[in-house]
């Protein structure tokens, strides 16, 4: 499977992002995602699309006894092994679609900004439900449907180059979207809000929290951050398996 994160140029551009240099505290969603984590002391955690392994390391710091980070990109996994190794943490080059999802194995499954690369997201929901223990939590952050349905996933600009508005089109047609991200062509997958939330409910999950990321006040002085209040970019969902 083709993954832009293994492309040398894209990988280098990704490494320059604040979240890549400074980690979770530099991620606009972290102040909302962090409080949604269940207690991880003594728990097992699976991270789908772990990237550099920030969330795996966080889970280990919180006392998780076993953490598995999966990513399709060999380069991202190598980076995770360099930056966020730990006795309890294993990293594996593996697609989210390909992992075996053993029944009743994990206490928490987390996925940050990776599920919008998955076409058949409902299949993943079904497998995550199977691999979670009773009472287990699935916590994810996915690009928001208003963002993924954005035309070219970019603003319409004024003549002077200021973002004028965010165009949304073909909202009810899920599937592939060709985008420009970090100067490269990147294919993402659009899912409607109904597909995401009903996909969870139809596969046996209970919804515990749904949030749309808004950058915190202290980040407002950073370039472009004020525009993040003009349309939602990320959808955070906490879903649980019945006890």
Ligand X SMILES: C[S@@+](CC[C@H](N)C(=O)[O-])C[C@H]1O[C@@H](n2cnc3c(N)ncnc32)[C@H](O)[C@@H]1O
Query: Residue numbers of the site for ligand X (CB under 6 A)?
Result: 3, 5, 49-52, 54, 70-73, 76, 95-97, 112-114, 117-118
Among residues 52 and 91, whose Cβ is nearest to ligand X? 52
- Residue showing the smallest CB distance to ligand X in the complex: 51
Among residues 98 and 206, whose Cβ is nearest to ligand X? 98
Compute the least distance from the CB of residue 76 to ligand X, in Å.
Answer: 4
Compute the least distance from the CB of residue 8 to ligand X, in Å.
Answer: 14
Q: Which two tokens stand for residue 79?
A: 């980076």
d(CA 48, CA 87): 19
Among residues 56 and 240, whose Cβ is nearest to ligand X? 56
Number of H helices, E strands in the chain: 8, 11
Task: Sort strands 66-71 and 44-48 into parallel, antiparallel or unpaired.
Answer: parallel
Among residues 5 and 206, whose Cβ is nearest to ligand X? 5
Q: Is 195 helix (H, G, I), strand (E, B) or coil?
A: helix
d(CA 139, CA 235): 11
Q: Which two tokens stand for residue 43?
A: 């728990």
Compute the least distance from the CB of residue 186 to ligand X, in Å.
Answer: 10
Q: Is 136 helix (H, G, I), strand (E, B) or coil?
A: strand
Among residues 3 and 88, whose Cβ is nearest to ligand X? 3
Compute the least distance from the CB of residue 129 to ligand X, in Å.
Answer: 18
Compute the least distance from the CB of residue 96 to ligand X, in Å.
Answer: 4
d(CA 73, CA 55): 16
Q: At CA 5, angle to CA 4 and CA 10, rounded to 5?
A: 80
């Amino acid at each position: 499977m083709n993954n832009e994160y293994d492309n040398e140029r894209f990988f280098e551009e990704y490494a320059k992002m604040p979240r890549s240099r400074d980690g979770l505290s530099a991620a606009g969603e972290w102040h909302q995602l962090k409080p949604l984590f269940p207690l991880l002391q003594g728990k097992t955690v699976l991270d789908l699309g772990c990237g550099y392994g920030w969330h795996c390391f966080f889970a280990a710091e919180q006392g998780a006894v076993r953490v598995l980070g999966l990513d399709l990109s060999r380069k991202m996994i190598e980076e995770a092994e360099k930056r966020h190794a730990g006795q309890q943490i294993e990293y594996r080059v593996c697609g989210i679609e390909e992992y075996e999802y053993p029944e009743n194995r994990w206490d928490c499954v987390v996925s940050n900004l990776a599920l919008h690369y998955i076409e058949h997201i409902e299949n993943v929901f079904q497998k995550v439900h199977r691999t979670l223990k009773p009472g287990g939590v699935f916590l994810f952050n996915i690009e928001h449907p208003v963002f993924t349905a954005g035309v070219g996933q970019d603003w319409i600009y004024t003549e002077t180059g200021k973002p004028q508005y965010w165009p949304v089109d073909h909202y009810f047609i899920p599937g592939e979207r060709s985008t420009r991200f970090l100067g490269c062509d990147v294919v993402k997958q659009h899912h409607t809000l109904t597909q995401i939330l009903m996909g969870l409910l139809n596969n046996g999950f209970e919804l515990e929290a749904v949030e749309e990321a808004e950058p915190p006040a202290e980040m407002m002085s950073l370039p472009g951050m004020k525009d993040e209040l003009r349309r939602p970019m990320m959808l955070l969902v906490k879903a649980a398996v019945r006890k």
